[in-house]
A and B are shown apart, each in its own frame.
Chain A
Amino acid sequence: MVRFIFRRFAGMLVTMFFVSIMVFSIMELPPGDYADRYAYRKFSGASIGQVTEADLRNIRHKFGLDRPWYQRYFSWIWGIASRFDFGPAFAFETSVNRVIGQRLWLSLAIMFSTLIVTYMISIPIGIYAAVHRHSIADYSLTVFSYLGLALPNFLLGLVLLYIAVTVFGSSVGGFFSPGLDKAPWSFAKAVDLLKHLFVPAVVLAWSATALQAQTMRATMLDEINKLSVTTARARGLPEWKLLLKYPARLAINPVAGSIGFDINRIFSDLPIVALVLGLPELGELLIKSYLDLDMYVAGAILLLITFIIIFLNFLSDILLAVLDPRIKLEGG
């Protein structure tokens, strides 16, 4: 077991290293550097003074933009690895760490609530549909799963916003009610946050729920005819008890096994959903910094969410190995 964990951990570090190179090359991709964009902004706006070549050289030197790319890469990655310093955020004229700040925790809160919503809905629905095969509930699950794929969740977010504004006359966007925005943390504020997390979580869970419910239903159908179930039934075990004890216990494994995939998809969809719903979290900032070409902020966010995904994958792999003894402890 220790060997298994160690190998997985080493594999995780290697993946992180290559991902960081990939992210860095995306940061380098847009033509020109910060100094060029600074000059452009000063030039296009009605600015006070002219920008000279010497100014540009100073900016480049100050931020180390005049060094070759590999030196910049290593100082960037070293800053992150040694003191969690993601470098300067040019457009905000501060550090990336400060810009990201509590947005990270809000993103994580959305992710966890989305996961909870996904499994809370999909597992019971999947079991129910498998037990009541060819019932109305079963067919509506099929229709729902097609819709889950076809209606992209940012459009679902827009639809919900529209309904909320026209029917209930309130907005569902944002994380906190207006008054509590700047207030210090308290029980009331936490409850308020939970209320506001519900809509984004449902929107993000939309397609995953449909997919997972289908998976759950399919595996349940495979398991439900096994001899162990018949034996348990013959033993006189109540139906709900035996369903939960044998087929559901086994059917949860593939669903739980795809948790890494779900986390990846949540972070993939999050930016656009956050933009639509007006949630000030990492993904929304990511889109904004892409549009402003503030590549240090964008790169930091992309790296951060990918590292979170890799780390959670690592955790879930170990958890699965503990949960399911049939998984062979190999690979790295």
Chain B
Amino acid sequence: MTTSTKIPQEIGTVAVTAEESEKALRYYSATQWQLMWWRFKHHRVALAAGSVLVFMAFLGLFAGFLAPYAGVIRDRECLLGPPQMPRFWDENGFSLRPFVHGVKTERHPVTLRLVPTTDTSVRRYIHFFVHSDSYKLLGLFETDLHLFGVEDGFIHLFGTDEMGRDLFSRLLFATGTSLSIGVLGVLISFVLALIIGGVAGYSGGWVDYGIQRFTEIVRVVPAIPLYMGLAAAFPREWSTEQVYFAMTLILGLVGWPTLARRIRGALLSLRNENYVIAARLAGAGAYRIISRHLLPAFASYIIVDLVISFPYMILSETALSFVGLGLRPPAMSWGVLLQGAQNIRTIQQALWLFIPAAFVVIAVLAFTVLGDGVRDAADPYTVSRA
């Protein structure tokens, strides 16, 4: 409980400078959200985590532009090819334009397997703003402009998978899918929780009892096996989009019991507050009481819970897709990409197939740290005044 800036408790009795009273005025007249933001700004780590997530969202949104290739393009010359580092010089001298070395496939003398090897005699120069595969930017504008590319052959910053597809491009598209599925899942579980928890908490009595028992029964079944069961029921002939939306529904189901419990608890403690009783006596309806008096009172808690539930969404999606019971291969998500790394022999040969795992870990870590920061900021009992 530290006060970072001294603010006179009783303005008027203490001599205050003009600057200090200005500050105090700003503090006392700030809205709840401004206060939250001021407190949040002081949490450096959380701020950094937030920026990481914004950057990831940017990567996902503009995946089509940032990725040199569409996710399904195969480089038949380079199956399980290693990552290529852009370089400015090699034994043949220096070049101002960055380049990567060419790749040629050779048969391994012992195992007789086709192994991609670096061909240092060939330079592939990297050009910026090149035209190649067409895609829809943000799903709206048809274009074929890409941030970078090479003129002939391929460039694989993160290597390729066993079908010769560029891991870097696929990872960008997967980032978009995994994050968006998390957002939709959180939204769906939020709506469900708001309805179920809201009804339980507001009405109380036997309705509350019934909903509580129901929530308990759902929670007692281990989550991932349960949702795998639901995912197993997706008909095989469903399109990628149908599976995608079904997955968001399932992830929404993952999250609601915890959220609903929190909302119910908050409502139960608030509904007997004096101002709520006053509003009810004044003849306000249920809708007005909930939306005008109750929701603003615990909105900050809900936001904290939403941020905290993101990691579970992302991890559940990854886990389900990883074992083949979630999104299916033409779709790209972190879990689908990690399917390639399920087999220990493949990982031994191509450690770069593990790069998507790093993205999962970073995203989950960032959401957790961000959640901590938001929780500290939203807690009205910390007296850190900005």
**Inter-chain contact B230/A26, CB cutoff 8 Å:** yes
Main SS of chain B's interface residues?
helix
Could you give, for residues 285-317 of chain A, a 1 whenever the CB lies within 8 Å of some chain B CB and a 0 otherwise? 011001101000010011001100110010000
B361 is an interface residue with CB less than 8 A from chain A: yes
Known: A31-B235, A150-B365, A151-B361. A271 touches B217 (CB 8 A): no
* Distance of B349 from chain A, by nearest CB (Å): 11
A19 touches B230 (CB 8 A): no
Give B218's nearest chain A residue, CB to CB: A22
Q: Point out the residue from B222, B322, B325 that lies within 8 Å of A268, measured CB to CB.
A: B222
Instruction: Using A15-B220, A155-B357, A165-B344 as known contacts, say yes or no to A146 and B322 having CB atoms under 8 A apart.
Output: no
B311 contacts A286, C-beta separation under 8 Å: no
Partner of B225, one of A19, A154, A165, A286: A286
Which residues does chain A contribute within 8 Å of B362, judged by CB atoms? 150
CA–CA, A30 and B364, complex, Å:
32
Given A146-B368, A149-B368: A283 in contact with B344 (beta carbons within 8 A): no
Within 8 A of A (CB), among B221-236: 221-226, 228-233, 235
CA distance A237 to B220 in the complex (A): 44
Q: From A146, A271, A290, give the contact of B365 (CB < 8 A).
A: A146
Q: Which residues of B contact A150 (CB under 8 A)?
A: 311, 361-362, 364-365, 368
Residues from chain A with a CB closer than 8 A to the CB of B364 are 149-150, 152
Q: Does B318 contact A (CB under 8 A)?
A: yes
User: Separation in Å of the A207 CB from the closest CB of chain B?
Assistant: 10
In chain B, what residue has the closest Cβ to A277?
A: B344
CB of B92 closer than 8 Å to a CB of A? no
Taken residue by residue from 91 to 116, chain A's Cβ proximity to chain B (1 for < 8 Å, 0 otherwise) reads as 00000000000000000000000000
Q: Does B341 contact A (CB under 8 A)?
A: yes
* Total number of A residues with any Cβ neighbor in B under 8 Å: 46
Judge if B53 is at the interface, Cβ distance under 8 Å: no
Kindly state whether residue A264 has any CB partner on chain B within 8 Å.
Answer: yes
Cα A298 to Cα B325 in complex, Å, equals: 13
Q: Which secondary structure dominates where chain A touches chain B?
A: helix
* B111 → chain A closest CB, angstroms: 17
Contacts known (A146-B368, A287-B323); A26 close to B224, Cβ less than 8 A: no
Interface positions, chain B 323-368, Cβ under 8 Å from A, are 323-325, 338, 341-342, 344, 347-348, 351, 354, 357, 360-362, 364-365, 368
Complex Cα distance, B344 from A162, in Å, reads 7
Q: In the complex, how many angstroms separate the beta carbon of A161 from the nearest chain B beta carbon?
A: 5
Q: How far is the CA of A147 from the CA of B311 in the complex (A)?
A: 12
CB pair A19 B325 closer than 8 Å: no
Contact indicator A306/B222 (Cβ below 8 Å) = yes
Query: A residues near B, CB below 8 A?
Result: 15, 18-19, 22-23, 26, 29-31, 146-147, 149-152, 154-155, 158, 161-162, 165-166, 171, 264-265, 267-269, 271-272, 275-276, 283, 286-287, 290-291, 293, 298, 301-302, 305-306, 309-310, 313
Q: What are the 4 tightest A-B residue pairs by CB atom distance, in nearest-first order?
A: A29-B233, A268-B222, A290-B232, A150-B365
Q: Can you offer 9 A-B residue contacts whose CB atoms are under 8 A?
A: A19-B221, A146-B365, A146-B368, A155-B361, A272-B224, A275-B323, A283-B225, A298-B229, A305-B225
